[in-house]
Structure 1
Amino acid sequence: MLFVALGVAVAALAVVLVMEFTGGGGARQAVPAAYQVYSSGESTEMLASREDDPRPLAESEVFERGNEKIDSQGLEFTLTAKALDDTCANAVWGDALVAALEEADCTQVARGGYTSADHVGVAAMFKLRDTEAAQAVAAAMELPEGEEAEPSGFLVPPSTDEPFDKLGSGYSAAEATVNGHYLVVTWVQPLASTSPEEREDLTSPLIALGNFDFPLYRRVLERESVLGVEGGAAESSGAEAGTTGTDAAPGTEGGTLDGTGTEVPVG
């Protein structure tokens, strides 16, 4: 009987771990307490379609050349986990979000797990068919409006180790920025936060981690060079707020003012 009980306990633990950490619709259903969507005008214009920018993302391009450490807003984020996937479903949970990525013809997703002295964060870059597809995936990540409504899905961190396993258990906020056929999503949480209902100002860490999109800035410059465009990205004024969502708080260029947004009850 002891061996039977032990076997049942091990099987139950395995089920819990699978439900907690696997991607593609079966992952731990962690969501931020606030979520906003933005559009980057320069990138959206120059990188509107994958036909304009067919070159696949490279690991050295996304995770090196400045992205191994992001120093901004008085914060220093260090890359401690990473993943570059051709199977985009591995980067998210939720059947509806997986379906949205398939509809958007997602061919790649790069995820970086970052930590600073006081925050944990994840940044993801999805390579999709075109701008409309990126907007659709951003909309699919919107938080539910009613208390009884279920979220359609969100990011899965590239690591299940601490502190990434804590994302969503405290107050966290996320932003999605449409950069043409790319969608960049950033998600941050204070390391000390334990309650999704206790709001904190996450403007600075969101702005800082937003620099994960710098490889796209380089691609914009490359495309402008090919097209012979003058001025261009060097004069870009940054993200324009408020492309989708309901009851979303006004944001800053790449950050939320006080981390407000749609709150999701934790069950």
Structure 2
Amino acid sequence: MTTPTRKRRRTPAKEQTWNIPQLEERGFSRSQQRLLVVAVSVIGVLVSAVVLAFVIGSMGNDFVPGRATAAAISTQPRPDAYRGWVSPKLFSPIAQSKADPAPLTLKDVFAEKVLKEGTTTLKLAATKLNADCSAVVWGQGLADQLAQAGCTQAARGVYASADGRYVAQYTLLNLRDTASADALVQSLTTMHRGGWTRPLESGRARFRSGGYTEGSGHAMGHYAGLVWIGRADGAEPGARDDFVSLSLAVRGAEKAVFRRVVAAAPAS
């Protein structure tokens, strides 16, 4: 009698991790990267670094491979989600920096050491003001855009919630005009994957490496405010986490901008 041959179980192939730095910097999600590579394969083109660079260039992007190294893209902290808002009309009195020439000060922007919104209470942990805007961001593309926008100051403040559950950072950028501020917050909708603000170092408030965070950009006349929030443990928000109130709380720093609108508005 012939002994039945035992069929060997097929080991499932390890799932491919799609994380191509050049594509990620240009705003492609991992699923979009996979679709792009599959599309290139279907038409019979060998998938290689050279081919991918050509495909990216053919889409009309001005990406320069040297702008951000693979290491920088994969290790630098950045928000997992981002939204941007252009400047409302109420900031028209400070649409141009020349209408609001007084430089920012830390005492002005971060005058309040405690910010509250609903049940969320944030306590200021550290502040820093830089005249070199490129020093507070990573990603050459973002640094170049700030230079083109005439950025002269970047004020950062990092907060920890009173219960130690959350971390929040606010960055206020002093730009040339509203058009520059609008363009910045809109471009970051995709470009935040390849460039973002650097976290302000503090022993009391720190973003967890590799943790989940969210960001938003708010143009206000010739200023652009960047909000960055997350849980202190790096976990994604759950049912008990109110990121809306957290974002509104840290935006209390924007009172400094409203005071400048009042100062620049013509007397009625």
TM-score range relative to shorter protein: 0.5 to 0.7
Matching residue of 2:214: 173
Specify the alignment match of 1:77 in structure 2. 122
Tell me the SS of whatever aligns to 1:71: strand
- Retained in 2: the 8 A contact 1:93–1:156? yes
Q: Which residue of 2 aligns with 1:220?
A: 261
Aligned position for 1:52: 99
| Matched residue, 1:89 | 134
Q: Which whole-Å deviations, capped at 9, do the CAs of 1:155-183 have from their partners, x for residues lacking one? A: 1122164642416x222211111001000
Q: Which has the larger radius of gyration?
A: 2
Q: How does 1:37-186 map to 2 (within 5 A)?
A: 37-64=84-111, 66=112, 68-116=113-161, 117=163, 118-143=165-190, 151-159=193-201, 161=203, 163-166=205-208, 169-186=210-227
CA contact (8 A) 2:158 2:205 kept: no
Structure 1 position 142, deviation (Å)? 2.3
Cα displacement (A) at 1:139: 2.9
Q: Per-residue deviation at 1:200?
A: 5.8
Residue ranges of structure 1 left out of the alignment (5+ in a row)? 1-23, 145-149, 230-267
State the Cα distance separating 1:32 from its structure 2 match: 0.9
CA distance in 1, matches of 2:86, 2:258: 14
**Residues 94-114 of structure 1: CA deviation (Å, up to 9, x unaligned):** 010000000001000100011
CA contact (8 A) 1:97 1:140 kept: no
The residue type equivalent to 1:127 in the other structure is N
Using structure 2 for the length normalisation, give the TM-score: 0.66
Partners of 1:172 and 1:63 in 2: how far apart?
Answer: 22
Supply the AA of the counterpart residue of 1:113: V
Distance in 1, matches of 2:261 and 2:235, equals 40
Q: Take 1:105 and 1:198, find their aligned partners in 2: how far apart are those partners?
A: 41
Q: Is the 8 A contact 2:158 2:170 kept in 1?
A: yes
TM-score by length of 1: 0.66
Q: CA RMSD in A?
A: 2.7
By relative contact order (CA 8 Å, sep 6+), the higher-ranking structure is 1
Comparing 199-208 and 97-106, the one that deviates more: 199-208
Q: 2:231 aligned to 180, 190, 194, which one? A: 190
Distance 2:89 2:80 in 1: 29
What per-residue deviation string (whole Å, max 9, x for no partner) do you get for residues 206-262 of structure 1?
A: 1111111110111111112xx114xxxxxxxxxxxxxxxxxxxxxxxxxxxxxxxxx
Aligned 8 A contact 2:109 2:256 in 1: yes
For 2:90 and 2:215, the matched residues in 1 are separated by 20
How far apart are the structure 1 equivalents of 2:240 and 2:118? Answer: 20
Measure the CA separation in 1 of the matches of 2:144 and 2:84. Answer: 19
Secondary structure of the 1:141 match is helix
Q: The residue matched to 2:99 in structure 1 has which SS?
A: coil
Which residue of 2 is the match for residue 246 of structure 1?
none
Cα 1:209/1:222, change in 2 over 3 Å? same
Do the aligned residues in 1 keep the contact of 2:93 with 2:264 (CA within 8 Å)? Answer: yes
Q: Percent identity?
A: 27
Tell me, yes or no, if the aligned pair for 1:94 and 1:153 is still in contact at 8 Å: yes
